[in-house]
Amino acid sequence: MKKSIGLLIVLSLMVSAGLFAGGQEEEKAPASPMDVEQVVLTDKAPSGDLELFSWWAGDEAPALEALIKVYESKYPNVNVINATVTGGSGVNAKAVLKTRMLGGDPPETFQVHAGQELIGTWVAANRMLDLTPLFEEEGWMDVFPKDLINLIGTDKGIWSVPVNIHRSNVLWYIPDNLKKWGVEAPKTWDDFFTVAETLKSKGVVPLAVAQTWTVNHLWESVALGVLGADDYDALWNGEISWTDPRVVKVWETFGKILSYTNTDAASLSWQQATDMVVIGDAAFNVMGDWAAGYLSTTLNIEPGSGYGWAPSPDTSGVFIFLADSFGCPKGTNNPDATLSWLKVCGSKEGSDTFNPLKGSISARTDSDLSLYNVYSQSAAKDFAKDRIVGSLAHGVVANEGFMNDFSTVMEMFLTSRNAQQAANACQAIAIQNGIGK
Amino acid sequence: MAHSKKLKNRSDMVKAILVLLPSVVLVAVFVYGFIFNTIYVSLTDWGQGAGLAEHPVKHWVGLGNYRQLFSGFIYGRFRQDLVNTFFYSVILLVGTLFLGFLLAVLLDRKIRHEGFYRTIFLYPMALSFIVTGTIWRWLLAPNGGLNLLPTFLGLKKGEFLWISSRKAILTFNWQHLLSILFFIAALVFLMLLLRAVRNRIHRKMVIHSALFSSSLLLCAISRWLLPPLLPFEEIHGFNLATLGILLAAIWQYSGYTMALYLAGLRGLPESIRESSRMDGAGEFTYYWKIAIPNIKPITLSAVIILSHISLKMFDLIYAMAGADNANTGHPSVNMYLTTFRANQFAMGAAIAVILFIMAALFVIPYLMHSHKQRREG
């Protein structure tokens, strides 16, 4: 009994100490000063181990294995360890990577979504090497589009080598079904609303969505459509506030679009949402172009005739991109092997081996288009000429903290459908996560 | 002679200490050390700015993180998670105990092939939550499984969204949480007071009337005098999307509860049942008036074992509804996302500490109870 009283006293002291100390919380932790270190280029032939950390398993594994084969034929002395942690979009892999990096055991190189997901996490933590010398030596400054280099770099350097490019703002449909229902793929959201009414009267779900991340994915297309490319970029640079009427309008439009979607979204995977379009339960689906891989390879539908695509409404001429990329963490055991891997990733041979298998396009503007299918060819053409902006749902324009909190805001919005409240919450999480200071 | 015995005792003690020491040290470091480290981290701001730097800068913020979780603008999801945990615990407990007891009573009637049924009922227990979750996700899919059942009777297909509904019932405003809690406390004390009055226990009458009136007073103070917990309305309640997950959890653990109860029922001497029959008690009266009171200890241990299961439903929820479905949310899922996806380590630690306290609320009474029993026994 006495003991427990003692314990209580100690506990209450601790609690009250915590309460009174709460006053000092105003001071924010400053990021530690960046001393940028660049990669050191050598001509040494690499040897030893190369531990390659990724979440490419299952459907995506053959592409990675092909890329590793290219690497092994060029650098036979290196022993490649393929450390894959399965789990869609890297949920599990990222957690494992974090514990390894914090524990001082970084892999030689790791897969990461290019852009803020890398910059806001690992570059901010000062754990990556600047790859500018490599980009200059390999001549990549000229073969990668300028918009792309801006989005994967900061004023301090370039942080990763993109191996592929996916497009996010694509509207998918089945041409035969649309003909049957007597509608056409909408060019603008206003078009969509008229088309949607027709579809609804025929008992068809106008737009199929799935679990929360696909809704976030839809949101970025809507935001780009409503804001336009300039304002969309300005939003991420912090030049436009989230409570700006233009951004509130994004949420309003988005809410209206959601009223034309399926109610069972939260229990569907993105493939199931695409399936709804294929079997004719739904008319359209906004999804990244991995859907093209799913439609052509898994479901064996002919691109162009069997399934059709268009830029999502109001976004023609703009290409929301996301990319998988590899970077060079500080303090690895074998930086030479890392650099040679990065060279293969960025090379024409490497990316033209990898991408046709992965169902994505090359980040290089000089890739051999004959290797790709009809859809990828059209995407590559757009990538070469369109304005390029970054994806939110896939980590290009916002850091991990913002992305996580945005999912929470989205859940809130899906229940409340309150545009102003969602805009206010976004402003709060943007400040908390240091977006656009 | 006595001397050597003492010496032997002492060397025994040294040996015992040497044998125990490693595990004591390991537990001290890897259990209690880490618990205290997590508590410390939860009182800092680790995760802001360069949270993943080699030597991250941490500042002491006191209870700031906890204040944020309970009353911050953007942490509504965590508060919903807490409400969910409450409903998960209560419904899982009631459902599993009821179903488990029912199965035990059915098996207790000495039916044929009892071993076979026992195995079937107990089997779900052998599955991991991930497997259970995957099976039930298929069963509860909007266009399949349970929703198809009515069609076998020629009825229309069911449309219930078992794990993705966005409807909530029993809603309340988080602003008034404190006053609601005090009001519930007042109700409990009122019941105790009435019971004391009926039994004419004077001392208890005084205590309970004091507790009743003070909690009623606190309820009034927190409702009208103190500022509300949140500056804005926030509605939480029992999300119907959690029904599907509860169904799976109850399915998995009712067999286990059945085994516990069956052992308890079998432990009752046959003579009790016979004499109750002689006195004219039916089956129902036997279980209600005689069996249930006699297997109270079994119910207690079942409650303890089951109640903390509701705190570790992480994998079940993850497999069935996914991490981002806030309607089925749970603090453990939120903790994982906050820590490993959003890199807010201090906030994640704060959620972990709250989970730890909730687990302690279940475990400590049990430890105290068993300690008391051992001393009495």
Residue ranges of alpha helices (H) inside A269-399 are 270-279, 290-293, 335-346, 348-358, 374-385
The interface predicted TM-score (ipTM) is 0.82
Q: Are strands A324-326 and A109-113 parallel, antiparallel or unpaired?
A: antiparallel
The tens digit of pLDDT for each residue in A359-375 reads 899 999 888 888 888 99
**Pick from B59, B76, B241: CB nearest A29:** B59
Enumerate helices (H) and strands (E) in chain A, giving the number of each.
18, 14
Residues of B whose CB is below 8 A from A414: 166
Q: Is the dihedral of CA A292, A295, A296, A301 positive or negative?
A: negative
- Segment A408-428 shows an average pLDDT of 91
Q: Is it the case that residue A30 has pLDDT exceeding 50?
A: no
**Which has the closest alpha carbon to A148: A408, A390, A421, A434?**
A390
The tokens of A199 are what?
Answer: 């579809």
Residue labelled with tokens 């039930």 = B136
Are A404 and B163 a contacting pair at CB < 8 A? Answer: no
**Pick from B67, B164, B323: CB nearest A264:** B164
- CA distances in angstroms from A375 to A170, A178, A290, A309, A360, listed in the order given: 11, 19, 11, 8, 10
Residues of B whose CB is below 8 A from A411: 77, 324-327
User: How would you classify residue B227: left for phi > 0, otherwise alpha for psi between -120 and 50, otherwise beta?
Assistant: beta
Residue labelled with tokens 């088309």 = A195
Are A414 and B166 a contacting pair at CB < 8 A? Answer: yes
**Which has the closest alpha carbon to A154: A187, A128, A190, A177?**
A128
Are B52 and A125 a contacting pair at CB < 8 A? Answer: yes
The identity of residue A323, as a single letter, is A
* Threshold 0.95, pTM exceeds: no
pLDDT band at A172 (very low <50, low <70, confident <90, very high): very high
* Residues 6+ positions from A107 with CB-CB distance below 8 Å: A51, A52, A53, A83, A97, A100, A329, A332
- Residues of A3-22 as b/e, b for ≥16 C-beta within 10 angstroms? eeeeeeeeeeeeeeebeeeb
In this structure, what are the phi and psi dihedrals at residue A82, rounded to the nearest 5 degrees?
Answer: -90, 95
Contact criterion met (CB below 8 Å) for A246 and A231: yes
Are B63 and A407 a contacting pair at CB < 8 A? Answer: no
Q: What per-residue confidence (pLDDT) applies to A8?
A: 54
Residues of A whose CB is below 8 A from B142: 264, 267
Q: What per-residue confidence (pLDDT) applies to A218?
A: 97
Are B63 and A101 a contacting pair at CB < 8 A? Answer: no
Q: What per-residue confidence (pLDDT) applies to A1?
A: 45
Residues of A whose CB is below 8 A from B326: 408, 411-412, 415
What one-character DSSP code corresponds to residue A242? T
Residues of A whose CB is below 8 A from B161: 263-264, 266-267
- Segment A310-329 shows an average pLDDT of 94
List average pLDDT for each run of 10 residues in chain B, which is 377 residues long.
Answer: 70 92 94 95 85 84 92 88 92 94 88 86 88 89 82 83 85 87 92 90 88 91 84 86 92 92 89 86 85 88 84 89 87 92 92 92 79 73
Q: Are strands A161-162 and A324-326 parallel, antiparallel or unpaired?
A: antiparallel
Q: Is it the case that residue A387 has pLDDT exceeding 90?
A: yes
For B334, other C-beta atoms within 10 Å of its C-beta total 24
**Pick from A126, A408, A415: CB nearest B53:** A126
The tens digit of pLDDT for each residue in A176-222 reads 999 999 999 999 999 999 999 999 999 999 999 998 899 999 999 99
Q: What per-residue confidence (pLDDT) applies to B371?
A: 80
Are B53 and A23 a contacting pair at CB < 8 A? Answer: no
Are B62 and A412 a contacting pair at CB < 8 A? Answer: no
**Which has the closest alpha carbon to A77: A43, A48, A109?**
A48
pLDDT band at A29 (very low <50, low <70, confident <90, very high): very low
Class of residue B1 by CB neighbours under 10 A (exposed 0-12, middle 13-18, buried 19+)? exposed
Q: Specify the 3-state DSSP secondary structure of A117.
A: helix
CA separation for the pair A3, B145 (Å, rounded): 55
CA separation for the pair B146, B150 (Å, rounded): 8
